[in-house]
Chains A and B, each alone.
Chain A
Amino acid sequence: MAGPMKMRATLASGYTDVRVLMSHPMETGQRKGPDGKMIPLHFIQNLTVKVNGKTVVEGQISQAVSRNPVFSFRLKGGAKGDKIEVSWLDNKGETNRTESAVA
């Protein structure tokens, strides 16, 4: 089961700053677990940022992104109350999403 996500979207001068935290192991497939066996590749591949339902950023990432990924994006303009949604999809087909209003 996916751990929590957390997002903060705040108005800055001329843009909206979106900072999103995701719980994910981002396994590289090159690490041994406590049982001595290799832990298989397990990482987020896609992430999507939407504003009021419209996609504005689409990211493709690799296992080189650090464990528990943290991303910042910037959106043009923006207004208080705009609904920001961030979702991810990993190589095992697991997904998670979070949304919050611009503060």
Chain B
Amino acid sequence: MRTTVCAVALGVSLAAATAAAQESQFAQYQKMVAEGSPVELFELVGEELWQKKQGPKNASLEQCDLGLGPGRVKGAHARLPRYFKDVDRVMDVETRLLHCMMTLQGRSREDALKRPFGNADKPSEMEYLSAYVAGQSRGYKMSPGMSHPQEQESYALGKKLFYVRTGLWDFSCASCHGEEGKRIRMSELPVLSKPEAARPLMATWPAYRVSNSTFKTMQWRLNNCFRQMRTPEPVFGSETINALNMYLTVTARGATYSGPGTKR
């Protein structure tokens, strides 16, 4: 109790000291793994796929409008999710990439989504593209859309969804990510409703994930959480997935994007 009072009184410096004292036992590991990460290999392949002509229209994605206008990739990831007038809805980066595959390349939704999530032996097109696009936002401040009514709706829905008890085993996102200092086995669980926990996390997704030996996207992360919550499968690019992503990204806003990251 006394430390809490002191921390408030002393402000930043002590707060920093407290954070250091509570540093994860895996901090050194995570730092070294991030320094020696193969993540850039995925950005390289993603850039090739971005420029590759394919689909019925034999077009590349280079004219894809990720929110800054056609063909502007620098800094775009850090401003997503946001409202897109041309489709009158909120989209995160993967939903928008899917949209561009369909509109620019003329591919069907089925074709473009045949394999949204890959594996180590064969990463997916979406994973490579996400790596490239995210890498182009390194150093940019995260500022998802928050002004359009639909963006605010999306945030509000995401926040509600975060606390919905559901699935065969009655979990909500908050069951695991709602309380400080909790673990699943040895995995430390960030309290994602808090900016200080959401920022470092959202600033490093998508990411090379050591457990999968490959690159993974945010939609995969959410999909995989629902799998472990024993629900049916959320639809790729659905309002539910976009809203959860919006809620987490808005909670993390202001962070400097430093991904694509490297995770356990």
Which residues of A pack against B, CB within 8 Å?
3-6, 21-23, 25, 33-34, 67-70, 72
Q: Is B59 located at the chain interface by the 8 A CB criterion?
A: no
A34 to B121, CA, bound (A): 10
Q: How far apart sit A70 and B40, CA to CA, in the bound complex (Å)?
A: 11
B11 within 8 A of A: no
A-B contact sample (9 more), CB < 8 A, given A21-B41, A67-B38, A70-B37: A3-B45, A4-B44, A6-B41, A23-B38, A23-B41, A25-B120, A67-B213, A69-B38, A72-B36
| Across-interface contacts of B36 in A (CB, < 8 A) | 70, 72
- Which residue of the partner chain A has the closest CB to B37? A70
Chain A residues within 8 Å of B213, by CB:
67-68
Chain B residue numbers with a CB within 8 Å of A3 are: 41, 45
Query: Is chain A's binding surface mostly helix, strand, loop or mixed?
Result: loop
Within 8 A of A (CB), among B20-51: 36-38, 40-41, 44-45
Residues in B neighbouring A34, C-beta threshold 8 A: 121
Q: How far is the CB of B131 from chain A (nearest CB, A)?
A: 12
Residues on the A chain within 8 Å of B38, using CB: 21-23, 67-70
When C-beta atoms are compared, the residue in chain A nearest to B43 turns out to be A6
Cα(A75)–Cα(B51), bound, Å: 36
**Could you tell me the distance in whole angstroms from the C-beta of B119 to the nearest C-beta in chain A?**
8
Q: Determine if A33 and B121 form an interchain contact, defined as CB atoms under 8 angstroms apart.
A: yes
Contacts between the two chains (Cβ within 8 Å), count: 31
Distance from A37 Cβ to chain B, minimum over Cβ atoms (Å): 13
Tell which of B38, B44, B120, B121 has the most Cβ of chain A within 10 Å: B38
Cβ-defined contact, A67 with B41, below 8 A: no
Determine the chain B residues whose CB is within 8 A of the CB of A69 once the complex forms: 38
User: With the chains together, A93 CA to B36 CA distance in Å?
Assistant: 26
Q: Are the CB atoms of B44 and A6 closer together than 8 Å?
A: yes
Would you give the shortest CB distance from A55 to chain B, in whole angstroms? 24
Tell me the bound Cα distance from A3 to B43 in angstroms.
Answer: 12
Is there an interface contact between B121 and A21, defined as CB atoms closer than 8 Å?
no
Complex Cα–Cα for A49 and B213 (A):
26
Residue on B nearest A70 in the bound complex, by CB: B36
- Nearest A residue to B38 by beta-carbon distance? A68
Q: Please, how many angstroms separate the alpha-carbon atoms of A21 and B43 in the complex?
A: 12
Closest to B48 in A: A4
User: Chain B residues near A23 (CB, 8 Å)?
Assistant: 38, 41
B44 to chain A minimum Cβ distance, whole angstroms, is 5
Known contacts A21-B38, A72-B36; A67/B44 CB under 8 A: no
Do A6 and B121 form a contact, CB below 8 Å, given A67-B213, A68-B213? no
- A3, A33, A34 — most chain B CB neighbours (10 Å): A3
CB distance from B122 to the nearest CB of A (A): 10
What is the CA–CA distance of A13 and B147 in the complex, to the nearest angstrom? 48
Distance from B232 Cβ to chain A, minimum over Cβ atoms (Å): 23
- A68 vs B41: C-alpha distance in the bound complex, in angstroms? 9
- Residues on B with C-beta less than 8 A from A5 are 41
The 9 A-B pairs at the shortest CB distance, nearest first, are namely A68-B38, A70-B36, A67-B213, A4-B44, A21-B38, A23-B41, A21-B41, A6-B40, A70-B38
- Cβ distance A26 to chain B, nearest Cβ, rounded Å: 9
B120 touches A4 (CB 8 A): no
Distance, CA A6 to CA B48, complexed state (A): 14
Taking CB atoms, residues of chain B closer than 8 Å to A6 are: 40-41, 44
Return 12 A-B CB contacts under 8 Å, by A number. A3-B41, A4-B41, A4-B44, A4-B45, A6-B40, A6-B44, A21-B40, A22-B41, A23-B38, A68-B41, A68-B213, A70-B38
